[in-house]
Amino acid sequence: MRNHKLIFSFVFVCIISVSHSIAQKQGVFLEEFVFEKAPFKECHASTIAKTPEGLVVSWFGGTKEKNKDVEIWLSRKVDEVWTSPESVANGIQNATLRYPCWNPVLYQIPGGPLQLYYKVGPSPSEWWGMLIESTDHGKTWNDPVKLPEGILGPIKNKPVLLSNGTLISPTSTENNGWKIHFEYTTDFGKTWTKSDPINNGVTYNAIQPSVLTYPNGKLQILARSKENAILTSWSSDFGKTWTNLEPSGLPNPNSGTDAVTLADGRQLLVYNHVGKNPNKWGGKRSPLNVAISQDGHKWEAALVLENEEGEYSYPSVIQTKDGMVHIVYTWKRERVKHIVIDLENLSLKPIVNGVWPE
C-alpha cells in the first residue's frame, strides 16, 4: 500500500509539473532558434520585421558586446527555414580604426524598401546613427549612410508610422543622465526633426522607449529605467509634447523591453517581470514575460516565455497581417530565439500591485 501511495504521489507531481509547463506556454504557436551555429561567440539586441517576402531578423554579434569585432548580422526566413547568419554592416572606419556596432532596428516602409538602423561607436555615450536600405527584402543592401548630426535613429525599438503621416522614432541618450527624446521624419529618413528630452536624467533615468498608439493622436511610451520600474509617459498631440515620466506599475531590472499596439487596439508588452538587485546596476534577466492591456494602465499576465536561469532579454515584437505576434529575443547571449503567439489561445490574468499571478 505504501508503494502505491508513493507511485500515486510521484504521478500526481508529474501531472502538476507538466500542466504548469503547458499553462506557461499556452498560446505559443511556434518556438525556434533563428540559428544553431554562428561565426561569432556572442549575440544580442535582435530586431524583427515582415517584408512582402517574409520575416527578417537582425542582431549584433561578435566576441563580446563592446568589442571592435561586433558587427550587424541578419537572417531571412525562406520557405520556413532561416538563412545562415550574414554580416550586413560593421564599424570599420579605415585600415587602422574600427568601432563596435550596436542595436540594429529593422523597419519595413509600406510599399518601399526595408530599412536597417544601427549604431556605431566606442560606447553608447559616444555612438552615432547609421542607416542601410534593401530593395529586395533583405537580400542585398546599399552602402551605409550616416544619419544627420544629432540624429541617432530608433535606439532599440521600432519606429511607428502615425496616422498623420509622421514616422516617429523613439530614441534616447546615455550621457549626462539617461534621457528620452523623439526624432520625426515625414519622408522615411531623408529629412529629420527632433524633440528636446522629455526627462532630466535625474529624477528618472530612462532609455529605449517603445511607442504605442491610440485614437486621435494619443500616444504612450514604455521605457527601460534605472529606477526599478518600467516608466511610462503620454502624448495627446502625435508626440509633440509628453507628460512627465512615471512608474507604470510593472518592474524592470534595468533591461530592454518592447511593445506593440495590436490590430484590435490592445497593447502588448514583452519584458522581464523582475526588479533590480538592491544597490546594483541591474537585476536578473529572467523570467521573460508577455503582458496585455486594454488601456495602457491596467495589465494582464499573458505568457511566460522563459523562466530558467540565464539571460533572456532585449525582446523585439511585431504583429503580422494574419494576426500572429512574432517575438525575437536574446537567448543566453548565444542565440536569437523566435516565438510566434496565437492571441486567441492566450488566457489572461490581472497583474495586481505589480505581482505576476500564479
- Calpha distance 69→92 (Å, rounded): 9
CATH number (domain holding residue 81):
2.120.10.10
What pLDDT score was predicted for residue 36? 97
Q: Is residue 17 part of a domain?
A: no
Q: Is residue 154 part of a domain?
A: yes
pTM of the model: 0.93
Q: Is residue 51 part of a domain?
A: yes
Q: Is residue 101 part of a domain?
A: yes
- Calpha distance 101→162 (Å, rounded): 29
What pLDDT score was predicted for residue 12? 37
- Assign residue 186 a region (left: φ > 0; alpha: ψ between -120 and 50; beta: otherwise): alpha
5-11-12 Cα angle (round to 5):
85
Contact indicator for 302, 350 with CB cutoff of 8 Å: no
Does the bond joining 287 to the residue before it have cis omega, within 30 degrees of 0?
yes
Domain that holds residue 266: 26-350
What pLDDT score was predicted for residue 158? 98
Burial of 353 per CB tally in 10 Å (0-12, 13-18, 19+): exposed
Q: Is residue 2 part of a domain?
A: no
How far apart, in Å, are the Cα atoms of 214 and each of 61, 66, 148, 185, 322?
35, 37, 30, 20, 21
Split into its structural domains, the chain has a count of 1
267-272-275 Cα angle (round to 5):
115
**What is the mean pLDDT of each successive set of 10 residues along the chain, which is 358 residues long?**
41 36 72 97 98 98 98 98 98 98 98 98 98 98 98 98 98 96 98 98 97 98 98 98 98 98 98 92 96 98 97 98 98 98 98 96
Grid coordinates belonging to 330: 536574446
What pLDDT score was predicted for residue 169? 98
